Structure 1
Amino acid sequence: MLDWIPDFQNPDRLWTLVLLPVLIIAYLILLRLKGRVALRYTNTGVLGRIVGSQRRWTRHLFVAMSLASLIALGLAYANPLGVEKQPRERATVVLVVDTSLSMSATDVSPNRLAAAQTAAVAFMNDLPSSFNVAVVGLDGDPSIAIPPTTDRGATQRAIEALQLSDGTAIGDSITQALKAVDQAPVGDDEEEAPAMIVMLSDGTNTEGASATEATAEARDREIPIFTIAYGTENGYVDVDGQRENVAPDPEALEQIATATGGKSVAADDLTSLKDAYRQIGSVLGYEEVSKPITATYASIALGFAVVAALGAVFMAARWPR
């Protein structure tokens, strides 16, 4: 369905709109008959003084307003539905934080990992208190640092306890994040809450399984992955006396986000990292729900009806000259 056409709670009631072409045809027939009657009166000056002068376009305009009012009423009768953003009541958010050695780069003060931990804690605290939050450490052997919980204190301690390690296994970290989602408690209705993964990383997959298969599983389970490519192009680390560039790879992370219906953002310092988390938080904290907007269409119909009524008065009145 086209974006500008709303959904309807009772689409079967749209049959009332078939009356519109019938009324238009009837109006055209009446105009034609009126034209024939007018030909009987050859003295148009006398006729004009009797019936008064009326502009043809105003008559058509007021008729159009009447028809527009009927259209709006017909649509209102079918109970149109609009989309409204409402705060989510429940959700599971899995924070995947890169702890590979490249996160020791100091291009972000004091270093990438410390800045990432600070921003992750702030992001978590901005989430609704009913959200379950889990943490996965992303290195060569990813693991669940803490399963989904609403205990913000315990989650903060888990984030702050993350330590640097070798390797970057992005595919395996997604697999661990999906396992964390499975550990989230169900609600009173025994249904799983919607879930999403937020991944902060500065590198590409260096070991472990390919990210393609894990990304496909997340997509099939309708779990979006939001990615943040963190760090600057000039970032570096010293390994065994060798200086290595550790620029982020936003293209690889964007592919993961796009494939799962998530969003990809970039951050090159602590401020922009907090902004990136804020953008993601605004997406996670709300969901789109259908809401009846019958009153809106009824108001539009009333507006058209008022204009049409004024037009009828204008055409029927004998204004003094």
Structure 2
Amino acid sequence: MSVEHPVLIAVAVLVGAACAVGLRRLHRERTRAYAAAGVTARGGLRRWLPPVLFLAAVVFLLLAVARPQVTLGVPRTSGTVMLAFDVSNSMGADDIAPNRLAAAQNAAIAFVEAQPDTVDIGVIAFSQGALSTHEPGNRHAETVDAIKRLRVTGGTSLGQAILGSLTAIVGRPVLLPEPPAPPPDVGYHADATIVLLTDGEDTGGPDVLQAAELASNAGVHIQTVGVGTVEGSTVDIDGYQVATALNEDLLTQVATATGGAYHRAADAGALDAAYRDLDLRTTIEPRPVELTGPVVAFALLLLVAGAVLTIHWFGRIV
């Protein structure tokens, strides 16, 4: 408990003490006056309770002016979220309208706009390689602009997507070593989440499960969002019709390896639901909460109680 104006605490104590002394002196004078007139003064609870309630109300009103505060633990969503977008040619398939990438972009933009500024969001675009198009930060309008600029091109490397996301989280290049070299120490980042938006077709690059294991060792959860349908569709690539379908098994393995979850997004509505279900970190942050309102309310309650009792017992405000 703390107060913004501590000097007013002393003022409240002095005023309360002065009023109490004055009330006591007034009672003695009334008692002497009644005795001199041969009248027995009424005492007990009825005589003392209403004035005490009024006095306490005045003290609490003065305490409210001091603006008391208490520090409480307030839950908040925080941490770092890397949105890793598959921009390979297969993401141009239209089994989700208008196409897989556009549907993923629209849902991601809605997700970004709904996050508080305590969440740092970055964007990775990956096909055969991975490119950080927006570093993690809380300027969410810039994040939305980066998402809107994504275009389909090339093949797919889920391993590069994970390594590129870890690079952005760690702040230095992260690579898988050649066996039998041990995996690199990238630190521990339990407040970071990678959201992998892809149809799951892995056409080459670093081993995706090894990359997922590296993320798991770093405390990073990977939430995979399968964009597309199991039945699949076809896309035109350099004049050829290429079949493409959702690889749910691989995306489930990747998510499970890091303690994350796989979300199937077969349409735009399912994409929105997948974002709402993302396991973002919730932390408890100590924040000062002002108690002026509750203290004033309590003082007013005392005033009303004193007035009601006075009218009930004496028929008037005395």
TM over 0.5: yes
Q: Which residue of 2 aligns with 1:271?
A: 269
CA deviation map 1:28-53 (0-9, x unaligned):
xxxxxxxxxxxxxxxxxxxxxxxxxx
Q: Are 1:182 and 2:170 an aligned pair?
A: yes
- Of the three residues 99, 107, 113, the one matched with 2:101 is 113
Identity of aligned residues (%): 37
CA deviation map 1:176-230 (0-9, x unaligned):
100111239xxxxxx9671110111003221211112211110101101000111
Q: Which residue of 2 aligns with 1:124?
A: 112
Q: Distance in 2 between matches of 1:288 and 1:257?
A: 26
Look up the SS of the partner of 2:277 in the other structure.
Answer: helix
RMSD value over aligned CA atoms? Answer: 2.3
- Of the three residues 131, 152, 157, the one matched with 1:164 is 152
Q: Which residue of 2 aligns with 1:28?
A: none
- Of the three residues 189, 192, 195, the one matched with 2:192 is 195
**Alpha-carbon distance, 1:104 to partner:** 0.7
Number of aligned pairs? 197
Q: Which residue of 2 aligns with 1:220?
A: 217
**Alpha-carbon distance, 1:124 to partner:** 1.3
1:1-321 counterparts in 2 under 5 A? 87-88=75-76, 90-183=78-171, 194-232=191-229, 233-280=231-278, 283-284=279-280, 286=282
Please say which structure displays the higher CA radius of gyration: 2
Q: Distance in 2 between matches of 1:153 and 1:288?
A: 26
The verdict on how the C-alpha distance between 1:193 and 1:210 changes in structure 2, with shifts beyond 3 A counting, is closer
**Alpha-carbon distance, 1:165 to partner:** 1.2
**What amino acid maps onto 1:206 in structure 2?**
T
The verdict on how the C-alpha distance between 1:286 and 1:157 changes in structure 2, with shifts beyond 3 A counting, is same
Look up the SS of the partner of 1:205 in the other structure.
Answer: coil
Q: Which residue of 1 aligns with 2:310?
A: none
Q: Which has the higher helix share?
A: 1
Compute the TM-score of the two structures, normalised by the length of structure 1. 0.58
Look up the SS of the partner of 1:127 in the other structure.
Answer: coil
Compute the TM-score of the two structures, normalised by the length of structure 2. 0.58
Q: Distance in 1 between matches of 2:112 and 2:277?
A: 13
Contact residue 92 and residue 193 of structure 1 kept, 8 A:
no
Contact residue 148 and residue 183 of structure 1 kept, 8 A:
no
**What amino acid maps onto 2:275 in structure 1?**
Y
Contact residue 142 and residue 173 of structure 1 kept, 8 A:
yes
Runs of 4+ in structure 1 deviating by more than 6 angstroms, as ranges, are none
Contact residue 238 and residue 244 of structure 1 kept, 8 A:
yes
Gaps of 5+ in 1: 1-84, 185-190, 290-321
Q: Distance in 1 between matches of 2:262 and 2:168?
A: 21
Contact residue 147 and residue 183 of structure 1 kept, 8 A:
no
The verdict on how the C-alpha distance between 1:87 and 1:236 changes in structure 2, with shifts beyond 3 A counting, is farther
Q: Distance in 2 between matches of 1:228 and 1:89?
A: 20
Q: Distance in 2 between matches of 1:100 and 1:112?
A: 10
**Alpha-carbon distance, 1:126 to partner:** 1.8
**Alpha-carbon distance, 1:240 to partner:** 3.6
Q: Distance in 2 between matches of 1:127 and 1:285?
A: 12
Q: Distance in 2 between matches of 1:124 and 1:89?
A: 13
Q: Which residue of 2 aligns with 1:75?
A: none
**What amino acid maps onto 1:175 in structure 2?**
L
Q: Distance in 2 between matches of 1:246 and 1:109?
A: 15
CA deviation map 1:62-98 (0-9, x unaligned):
xxxxxxxxxxxxxxxxxxxxxxx97335300000011
Q: Distance in 1 between matches of 2:91 and 2:276?
A: 21
